[in-house]
Structures are given as structure tokens and as C-alpha cells.
């Protein structure tokens, strides 16, 4: 078996989605820690492998791939024993892809990253109410995705669930999930937490990020 290296840090939601995938596929790997706050992603060695200088990044015998969604689908395609996490059926795969794009374009890039970057990188201490409203709108949509399903892309666990739970487990730092308003999300989160590898692959890192963020004593504008 080729040695898989995943570059990132547990506090990073996209890194955690890849860790969930690796654990679900039962693949051996080494996590290479990259401290973004110390600029370790900007070293000449890292930039040579990934000029976009982002984490996570996967390295195997064929080279380097970055972007969590690309990494996750690659891992299933190359190393998966079956297509359960990323179905071959065209319609089912399209739904999973839509959810992955939803996470990439709206949930992470549109909502999570701006707030978190503002606090950690720019020293912001007040979160505008409009950003919290954007998180609420995301919850509204995810609740709809779960209307008739146990998981976000159907009744079976897929890569979409890994992307969603890694992002949502950070978003709820800014806007806790109201179980009365979002009963389906609450039930889905519990199902995800029951995965045998959840705590190691996502729970620990999510708690680390929550501790870091709350130490900044941010507030939400009225």
C-alpha cells in the first residue's frame, strides 16, 4: 500500500472532512501538521507542491492534490472498495456533487471562512449580524435537504455528510443549532457522532477550533 500523506491541521474543517474519508475507507495515512498561523504553508517546499498554499493537501505516489472535495472523491475513486460514499449512479452522484459544491461555494467559502478568517487572521472581534443571518439561511437549506433523508444526499452516508459536518461543527460556534427549529439537523448530527471514527476524525479538531475562536472573545453585533 502506498503511503498517503495528508497535510493540514485538525482544527481545519476541510482537513477534517478528508480525515473522515480516510477513516471511513480504513486507509493508513500520516497527518503532516501545517501551522497556518506560523506561515508554514508559505514555505518554498510547500509552495512547490501546492502553489495555492492551501490545506488540506494529499500526497501519494502520483503527486499532490489539494482542495478537500477533490481529495475526497479521489480517495474513493482510487482506494475505495466500493462506491458507497460516492455512488457511480449518475443521478445519485449528481446529488452528492451538488452538496459538495454547496459546501465549497456557500457553506465554507461564503459563510464559514469569512467569519473565521476575520477573527483569526484580521483581528476582528465583532461579527456582523448579516453574517449570522447567512448561517441561518444555510441551516434552513440543510434542514430541507434532510426532509426525507437520514443523510444530506439521501438515505445512505456519503462524502457530502463529511463535508457538511466538518463545516457545520464550526458554524454552530457562531450560531448554535436550535433543536426545536432544526430537528432534522439535530438528529443528523447525532447520527454522525455515532460513527466509530467521528470523534477522532472530527470531534477533537472541532473542539480545538472552538477553543481557539472563543479565546478571541468575539461578539455578535446587535
- Which uninterrupted H or E stretch holds 43? none
Mind listing the pLDDT tens digit of every residue in the chain (222 residues)?
A: 678 999 999 999 999 999 999 999 999 999 999 998 888 999 999 999 999 999 999 999 999 999 999 999 999 999 999 999 999 999 999 999 999 999 999 999 999 999 999 999 999 999 999 999 999 999 999 999 999 999 999 999 999 999 999 999 999 999 999 999 999 999 999 999 999 999 999 999 999 999 999 999 999 998
Tell me how far apart the alpha carbons of residues 166 and 177 are, in angstroms, rounded to a whole number.
14
Nearest to 70 by CA among 101, 95, 93, 92: 101
Cell 432534522 -> residue: 184
DSSP letter, residue 154:
B
Look at residue 222 in the predicted model and tell me its pLDDT.
84
Tell me how far apart the alpha carbons of residues 8 and 72 are, in angstroms, rounded to a whole number.
14
Amino acid at each position: 500500500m502506498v503511503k498517503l500523506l495528508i497535510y493540514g491541521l485538525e482544527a481545519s474543517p476541510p482537513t477534517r472532512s478528508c480525515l473522515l474519508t480516510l477513516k471511513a475507507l480504513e486507509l493508513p495515512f500520516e497527518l503532516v501538521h501545517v501551522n497556518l498561523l506560523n506561515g508554514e504553508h508559505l514555505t518554498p517546499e510547500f509552495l512547490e507542491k501546492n502553489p495555492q498554499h492551501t490545506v488540506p493537501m494529499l500526497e501519494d505516489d502520483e503527486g499532490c492534490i489539494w482542495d478537500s472535495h477533490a481529495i475526497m472523491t479521489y480517495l474513493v475513486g482510487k482506494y475505495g472498495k466500493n462506491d458507497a460514499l460516492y455512488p457511480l449512479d449518475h443521478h445519485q452522484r449528481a446529488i452528492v456533487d451538488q452538496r459538495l459544491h454547496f459546501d465549497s461555494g456557500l457553506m465554507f467559502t461564503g459563510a464559514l471562512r469569512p467569519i473565521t478568517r476575520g477573527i483569526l487572521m484580521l483581528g476582528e472581534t465583532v461579527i456582523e449580524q448579516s453574517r449570522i443571518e447567512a448561517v441561518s439561511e444555510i441551516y434552513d437549506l440543510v434542514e430541507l435537504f434532510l426532509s426525507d433523508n437520514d443523510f444530506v444526499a439521501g438515505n445512505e452516508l456519503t462524502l457530502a455528510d463529511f463535508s457538511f459536518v466538518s463545516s457545520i461543527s464550526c458554524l454552530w460556534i457562531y450560531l448554535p443549532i436550535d433543536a426545536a427549529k432544526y430537528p432534522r439537523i439535530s438528529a443528523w448530527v447525532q447520527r454522525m457522532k455515532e460513527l466509530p471514527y467521528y470523534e477522532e476524525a472530527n470531534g477533537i479538531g472541532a473542539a480545538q477550533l472552538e477553543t481557539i475562536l472563543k479565546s478571541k472573545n468575539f461578539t455578535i453585533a446587535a
